[in-house]
Amino acid sequence: MRISWSFFCCVLLQAILAVSTQGLKTLVLYDQSAEPLEDYSFYLKDLEERDYKLEYLDVNSTSTAVDLYDKELRLYDNIIILPTKGGKNLARQVPVNQLIKFFENEGNILCMSSPDAVPNTIRLFLNQLGIYPSPKGHVVRDYFSSSTDELAISSDYLLNKHVYNTENDEQFVFGESSAALLENREQIVPILNAPRTSFTESKGKINSWTSGSQGFLVVGFQNLNNARLVWIGSSDFLKNKNQNSNQEFAKELLKWTFNEKSVIKSVQAVHSHADGTSYDEVPYKVKDDVVYSIGFSEWNGQKWVPHVADDIQFELRQVDPYYRITMTPSENDSETQYYSTGKFMLPDRHGVFTFITDYRKIGLSFITDRDVKPIRHLANDEYPRSWEISNSWVYISTICGVIAAWIFFVVSFATTSSVSKKLETFKKTN
């Protein structure tokens, strides 16, 4: 009994200390011959101090495929791919289809590359997501803001406050960096833009890959199942030598990648008649007054706290939305902020409707909460009687007038035709 109680306490303590909402077991792939693992020890140690279970693998140590699954069970929650030159070894160990499967099964991925080498495995995987890193040898240059090859980016080019939000004027050191072009997809999360005066310069070539703000140095992608990916175009960004400049941004970036921040959930989505009667007690019919409410919580790395927003919308759909209502905050508690539509009338149309809240804000995890309910038409005895409709009195009085006139005509005709007159007769003689 004592052993069981101790085991229960350990499990409970691990659950309390967990900082990520999805898991802590992480595979780190690196190339010791290209970028020594010791150069990134500061942030790797920081992850270990936050109870991440890191497992390291040098891509040159083996040529066999890495087991990411035990049958259908995912063995790792996160993958970190540090800059590598051994593209062929990486392709054998983690093929593109394995990365895609891992990402589709809610696994988070952090990958870094450098202008000197973007392994084909990483490039093809990113291309599937609509992210196109510059080819080998293309380097971002900005001669207006820096006279050296060390690229420094101002925090003014940060694009998403849910990833990193700062009011200070900071400078991030990237050294030599690649830039990426992006497709127009709602799952892509642009994080750090290239300066307007920058461009990608190809060594020994005239053409360039990006120009100005069309290039991105740090890009995120959030799957529909809320798995996250971050690509960093510089191998120097997470190195120990640049921690003084990049530390705060880098830590927040890692937290976002591994679902330690900007994660929200919905709770207690309910709808009922305006008087509080539930659907199970009295099913909805057309033109009923109903109320919809839902709660939102946000994970701050340690616990759930109320998520406050002013753009959460409710939709009542059949095929297309009949209503789209921006909800307003109602009540809250220590973990949840609740929102309500207030009273609204169901449409004058029967059928199967979906009560849905589909909240998708770039940088936050996606929330979709839906409930499907039929709305019936009125029964025969539920329609209002004709005398209850004020406009109908015009037609009712007209009908009564026609009936009265017809009765008067029949009576008048019958009485006048019954009066006989005596006619004189005579015999005609010639």
Q: What is the pLDDT of residue 183?
A: 95
Is the residue at 405 inside a domain? Answer: no
Q: What is the pLDDT of residue 391?
A: 81
The average pLDDT across 340-346 equals: 96
CB atoms within 10 A of CB 4: 8
Is the residue at 148 inside a domain? Answer: yes
Distances (CA, A) of 373 to 3, 69, 135, 209, 293: 49, 39, 52, 52, 16
Do 83 and 211 lie in one domain? The reply is: yes
The average pLDDT across 164-187 equals: 92
Do 299 and 224 lie in one domain? The reply is: no
Tokens of 203: 């060594």
Is the residue at 54 inside a domain? Answer: yes
Do 279 and 244 lie in one domain? The reply is: no
Q: Which of 217, 237, 257 is the last residue of a domain?
A: 257
**138 pLDDT higher than 80:** yes
Q: Which of 60-74, 214-228, 305-319 has the lowest mean pLDDT?
A: 60-74
Q: What type of residue sits at position 190?
A: P
The average pLDDT across 233-238 equals: 94
**185 pLDDT higher than 60:** yes
* Dihedrals phi, psi of 164, to nearest 5 degrees: -155, 125
Q: What is the pLDDT of residue 206?
A: 58
Tokens of 378: 């009125």
Quickly state the pLDDT bin for 425 (edges 50, 70, 90). low
Do 102 and 166 lie in one domain? The reply is: yes
Do 241 and 375 lie in one domain? The reply is: no
Tell me the per-residue pLDDT of 351-402, one tens digit each, with 9 for 90 and over. Answer: 999 999 999 999 999 999 999 999 999 888 887 777 777 788 888 889 999 9
Do 35 and 55 lie in one domain? The reply is: yes
Q: What is the pLDDT of residue 258?
A: 96
The average pLDDT across 209-236 equals: 94
Q: Which of 257, 289, 308 is the last residue of a domain?
A: 257
Quickly state the pLDDT bin for 301 (edges 50, 70, 90). confident
Do 211 and 348 lie in one domain? The reply is: no
CB 34 within 8 A of CB 59: no
Q: How many Å apart are CA 298 and CA 267, to the nearest integer?
A: 11
Do 332 and 211 lie in one domain? The reply is: no
166: domain CATH number is 3.40.50.880
Is the residue at 41 inside a domain? Answer: yes
375: domain CATH number is 2.70.50.60
Percent of the chain residues past pLDDT 70, beyond the cut: 90
Question: For the chain, what is the domain count?
Answer: 2
Q: Residue 329 burial (CB < 10 Å; 0-12/13-18/19+)?
A: middle
Q: Which of 158-167, 281-290, 380-389 has the lowest mean pLDDT?
A: 380-389
- What residues are paired with 181 via a beta bridge? 132
Tokens of 56: 């390291």
Is the residue at 407 inside a domain? Answer: no
Q: What is the pLDDT of residue 3?
A: 38
Q: What is the pLDDT of residue 423?
A: 56
Is the residue at 425 inside a domain? Answer: no
Is the residue at 410 inside a domain? Answer: no
Q: Which of 341, 360, 381 is the last residue of a domain?
A: 381
CB 178 within 8 A of CB 134: yes
- Kindly give, in sequence order, each residue whose CB lies less than 8 Å from that of residue 18, ignoring residues fewer than 6 positions away: 24, 51
Is the residue at 412 inside a domain? Answer: no
Q: Which of 84-88, 195-199, 281-285 has the highest mean pLDDT?
A: 281-285
Do 176 and 251 lie in one domain? The reply is: yes
Do 337 and 225 lie in one domain? The reply is: no
Its domain, for residue 367, covers: 263-381
Q: What is the pLDDT of residue 419?
A: 54
pTM of the model: 0.84
Q: What is the pLDDT of residue 11?
A: 41
Do 217 and 348 lie in one domain? The reply is: no
The average pLDDT across 313-317 equals: 96
Do 108 and 215 lie in one domain? The reply is: yes
